[in-house]
Each structure stands twice: as structure tokens, then as C-alpha cells.
Amino acid sequence: NWSSYTMIRKKDFFGITTLGIFIILFDQITKFFAREYLQTPVYINQFFSFDLSFNRGISWGVFHSNNPLYFYIIGLLIGSILLVFGYYIYNRVNLGLSVLAESLVFFGGISNLVDRFFYEGVVDFLAFNFRGYYFPNFNIADVFITLGVFFMFIKIIFYED
């Protein structure tokens, strides 16, 4: 019946929203501390450090530019992709399908998009290196995005036709 269908949807919406709030708050709080306290790198050991940087491009600094027009075009593209992806998630929820993996990607992306418009670049501060190879700095939202993509691949390979 319709009321039980609506109840399930409200429950799904509440769970997704709660997850999203957690991801965004956790990410933004860690970025706040990075902006406030990481004026110089903090080395934990030979492999890991906290090192503040602002990424004005996309993943790993690809398409980085100091040109404001270019920066905002990238931001609008990312925002548009997130809108379409959000609509995809909405449709999956209405079909009763799992959206955990997709939600990790979506809310991580939203948190990074917030940075683009408030700080003119995505705040990155987690830094790894190994034998002179420096992995691009990243943040907590990037961790959620990566986990979400990984879980989406697992779901596609093992659980969906």
C-alpha cells in the first residue's frame, strides 16, 4: 500500500541524509583544522605528513589553473555532474536499490565543491610519499569518494546484471 511505500522512502531519505551530513561535517571540520593549524607541514614519519594545499583543478591537480574563469568553469562542470549524479541516486532510491556507494561519492563531491566556492580551491592536507614519490595531497572527502567508487565497482562486478 502507498503509506508503507512512503514510510520506506522516508527511512531511506533519512539514512542517506544522515550519512551525507556526517561526511560533509567530518570533512569540513578536518579541513578547518588544516587551514587554521597547518601553516607549515607536520611530518608524522617518513611516509606520512599533514601538508596544506589548495587544488584548483580536478583529481590530483589535473587542469590546475590560476585563471578565475577556468576555475569557475571547472566548478560549474563538477556541480552539473553532481546534479545529474544526485538525480541518478534519487531514481535508484525510488527503485528500492542500494545507494550507499553512490552516496559516498556524491557527498564527498559536494563537500569538495563547497571548498571551491568558499576557499577558491579544494583543501587538501593528507600527504603520502614513498622513496621520493609524492602521492598528490588529498582530504577526507577524497577518501569517501574513493571508497564509494571502489564499492560501486564491487557492486557492478559481483551483484548487478
Catalytic residue numbers? 124, 142
**Residue 47, C-alpha cell as written in the block:** 611516509
Cα angle 113, 149, 145; round to 5: 30
Query: What is 107-133 written as a DSSP string?
Result: HHHHHHHHHHHHHSSEEEEEEEEETTE
